[in-house]
Structure 1
Amino acid sequence: MTIGDLREVVRAPDAEGSPPRGPARGAARARAYLALTKPRIIRLLLITTVPAMCLAARGLPSLWLVLWTLVGGAAAAGSANTLNCVIDADIDKVMNRTKDRPLATGALTRREALVFGLGLGALSFAVLWWTSNLLAASLAVAAILFYVLVYTLVLKRRTSQNIVWGGAAGCMPVVIGWAAVTGTVDWPAWVMFAVIFVWTPAHFWALAMRYREDYAAANVPMLPVVAPPKVVARRTAAYTWLTVVVSLLLFPVTSWVYVAVAGVVGAWFVVRAHGLRNAVARGEAGEPMAVFHASIAYLAAVFVGIAVDALVGLTPIGWPL
């Protein structure tokens, strides 16, 4: 879909097969709107926001600030995910993994989803500007625009490096959280950004290996579609190593607590990734979903480690620089 196609969504009548208009369906429509936002993805994004805020504050920030930053961040992520569903409605109908999404089933129309997505984006900007600062609000809008215009419209259907660069949008919650606390974006925020940035390919390629046929049927050139499994597994392992190395760059602003957590869970993550690499090298299918789930557990553990380290209040290893 192009930007011109997106404009047609606004002007065009509801597609044939759209749900009939009328009363009722209230609860079902509410669930459909919620599904557009991809709540499970939002939960993972928000898990990284609070630790970033704790590290920025060197302790516990204002709980009201945390609450409203999470609300604004959830609205921004929901906006980006909803607009992604609008643009990728044709793909979602083809892929088994996504065929039950609201636009694929006709539970909602593209126009309804477009209005909802834009409304969430406006809400995100207003909430973050009102409760924190203009920088945090602007970063949220930038994340939405990047995910929709750069990743979904440009990269996703054109290059196997789509998730490598497109994943930058998913890194923004830590920067937004830091900006909400400090009004600036300092280097530790960019290190946390980099952790998620290099983590994303290993995380998503494992999922794409499992659903390779889906992406192939939809003509989306995810790496597992265009490269042999051995290449995908090697690159997944390489990005896993890179993720662990980058995570340790936070040592100047953290204590031994974080370094120990990052080291232990990092070693475990590397072992899981190499297990997949070794299995594929032997000609086996391996367990890509095990790596996918391990990647989620790894990221959650690392950011919990950041939060705990900041809240415990031990002297950072290299602070001040």
Structure 2
Amino acid sequence: MADVFSPIPELNLLKEFDDAQDDFFANGFEMDEYGKEIEEGLISFAQANGSGSLYGIWRKDDREDLATLPVVAMGDEGGVHVVARDFREFLRLLASIPADCEPWIDWESFGLRECDEPVENEPYLAWLKETFGITPADDWRAIVHGAQAELGKEWAAWIHPIMPDAVWSPVHELNLLDLFNNVARGGFANGFWLLDDDEDERLKNPELTADLMPFATNDSDTFFALWRLDDRTDLADLPVVALGTTAGAHVVARNVREFFQLIAGLTDTEIWCDETRVGLRACEPAPQREKFLSWLDENFGLRPADDPAAVIATAQAELGERPATRG
């Protein structure tokens, strides 16, 4: 009996179809050896484009039916992104990519680039419909974006400890904000800037311990961080703390989404803090605030806080004025 290509029946059928073809049926796609672990829990099975990017299975758990696991794309120069919720959806993605394009993958996203020559994909489309009853999507983006919307929170928490550069943050909501920040091209919330690096040389606060995870700053005297007050798995549920550059740590929101509402509600003020307290002070309005409000509504169904000071007061009443320093 011949060796089986993989433990995934759907992938084995694709291998049989590919072996019977005289030419490529998808630009840049070429079957590869199954089972090579590119990173812990990421098993490659095919080449995604002509420059060496790869498709792989995300072994996010120990389920027996590997065909129900998500598929990821790994860029040859960096970047790894979920592109399909399971293997059959991946087969549909292949069918939905235009015949004159191939995947283009970088640290920020999975996209397409034009190729010099289109491939003949009609045999693949006919095989896919006959074998699985699958037809192409009207737009390949719907498949990729749907998978990322469903799995993005779990993916960010899983991949960040293994490959920190793969996502900006282990918190899905902050990754979405970072993507928005990349296209907003200007300040979108008063006194709020995402950190470019994991650390900032201005931040020398002795209260910054392993329990605090900085992610933003007002660009002068205050930073914002998640407070790891317990072992909850959804990091977006952690409180947000304002940190002085040299001293002071004060709760300002009970979770990330409430913090988004807080900064969205700042019309002509910004958050600042020192060793003893946190408050609001006057500042110039953010030029891209209206875009941020639209983004907040479209992505989370959230509206800006009517009373930002009340948000801070409520968070402190529930959680305490400041976190206890540990370690």
Fold-level similarity (TM above 0.5): no
TM score, norm. by length of structure 1: 0.25
- Decide which structure has greater strand share: 2
Higher relative contact order (CA 8 A, sep 6+): 1
- Decide which structure has greater helix share: 1
Could you say which structure has the larger radius of gyration? 2
TM score, norm. by length of structure 2: 0.25
